[in-house]
Amino acid sequence: MKVTHQHTHARTGVSLTGMGLGCAQMGNLYRVTPYEESAGAFKAAWDSGIRYFDTAPYYGFTRSERRLGTMLTDFAREDYVVSTKVGRVMTPDPTVGAEEEGYVEPLPFRPVYDYTYDGVMRSFEASQQRLGILAPDILYIHDIGSVTHGDKHAHYWSQLTDGGGFRALAKLREEGATKAIGLGVNEWEIIRDAMEVAEIDICMLAGRYTLLEQQSLAFMDRCAEKGVGIVIAGAFNSGILAGNRKFNYADAPPEMLARVDALHEACAAEGVTLQAAALQFPLAHPAALTIVSGARNRDQLTANTAWFEEEIPASFWSALKQRGLIAEGAPVPGQGA
């Protein structure tokens, strides 16, 4: 696979490079990331041929959008694709602490969930100003679903439906303020539900269609049938496929650790890097447009692109199927759907 290979979403014409850069680390996710480190990751991404960049108001409580917007200023608008998100209105708040919701030294803007028509429009306008970009290519609804909101899910879902959130997104697309609309979530089920009530184009799905987890395969097949493109994020499943013992942001259960051990054994037998397999596997599905991976600095970005472009023999994917480590019917690289 090549980072520079373009996948074009048929309905919207949005064309994405094989890999995109996720910019949560630009917002000091888990630790302070100096601007120079973020700029180094961005430059390494650009030099490698990556032309898709994803951010959100929530990342660093507006820090990521500000940083990415500054970095993109030096390039012609037609030379890259950028996505951002709505669903939280960033509200000035001097009580924001030194670490909030995983972000270190966040800026003094408190995220407030708001998926209503007015909330979407306010969030979008603020993102335009922080990015310095009038028309981000893709606009995602950020973090919606029953796992995210628990017993408040029905309330927030009604903001999107009855409260006009979906209508606001459709209006922005109709006016040319964005080319594609969708959801950026960790729950495939909520994308399925959204497809029933709104005409969505491209969605970002984190951690739910990966080398480790393919329960969403039938859903992915449905997206391919309906022309809904999927941006794959979280390919390392919170890092368990990249060397740590976390899964879904918590300590991995024994059954997941055992499955990762089996994947390691298969990789060792074929001389394949597990991270490379994790980055390449999801893109074999016809619904998948690109894979987004975060990088805090130049070295991490260089490692990610090397894994993405590592040559993996067809025998490796056959071995995974024989060991029962890939779901029946899941496409694998080099074999199409």
292-321 per-position pLDDT tens digit: 999 999 999 999 999 999 999 999 999 999
- Kind and range of the H or E element at 84? strand 81-86
> Is residue 80 one of the residues assigned to a domain?
yes
Q: How far apart are CA 312 and CA 64, in angstroms?
A: 34
Q: What is the pLDDT of residue 337?
A: 41
> Is residue 55 one of the residues assigned to a domain?
yes
Q: How far apart are CA 188 and CA 207, in angstroms?
A: 10
Q: How far apart are CA 157 and CA 35, in angstroms?
A: 36
Q: Tell me the average pLDDT across 74-93.
A: 98
Q: What is the pLDDT of residue 51?
A: 98
> Is residue 327 one of the residues assigned to a domain?
no
> Is residue 316 one of the residues assigned to a domain?
no
Q: Does the pLDDT of residue 41 top 90, yes or no?
A: yes
> Is residue 12 one of the residues assigned to a domain?
yes
Query: 204 forms bridges with which residues in the sheet?
Result: 184, 231
CATH number at residue 223: 3.20.20.100
Q: Dihedrals φ, ψ of 329, to 5°?
A: 90, -5
Q: What is the pLDDT of residue 276?
A: 97
Q: Tell me the average pLDDT across 68-73.
A: 98
Model confidence pLDDT, tens digit, residues 107-161: 999 999 999 999 999 999 999 999 999 999 999 999 999 999 999 999 999 999 9
Q: What is the pLDDT of residue 247?
A: 83
Task: Give percent of the chain with pLDDT exceeding 90.
Answer: 94
pTM > 0.85: yes or no: yes
> Is residue 173 one of the residues assigned to a domain?
yes
Model confidence pLDDT, tens digit, residues 235-257: 999 889 988 887 877 888 999 99
Residues 6+ apart with CB under 8 A from 36: none
Residue 80 confidence class, pLDDT cut points 50, 70, 90? very high
Task: Please identify every residue annotated as catalytic.
Answer: 54, 59, 85
Mean pLDDT of all residues in the chain? 96
Q: What is the pLDDT of residue 39?
A: 98
Q: What is the pLDDT of residue 209?
A: 97
- Segment 192-196 long-range contacts (CB within 8 Å, at least 24 positions apart): 192/219, 192/222, 193/157, 194/141, 194/160, 194/166, 195/222, 195/223, 195/226, 195/228
Q: How far apart are CA 123 and CA 142, in angstroms?
A: 11
Structure tokens at 155: 């309330």
> Is residue 317 one of the residues assigned to a domain?
no
Q: Tell me the average pLDDT across 100-106.
A: 97
Enclosing domain of residue 35: 6-259+272-311
The overall longest dimension of the chain from CA atoms, in Å, is 57
Q: How many structural domains does the chain have?
A: 1
Which residue type occupies 35?
A: Y
> Is residue 333 one of the residues assigned to a domain?
no
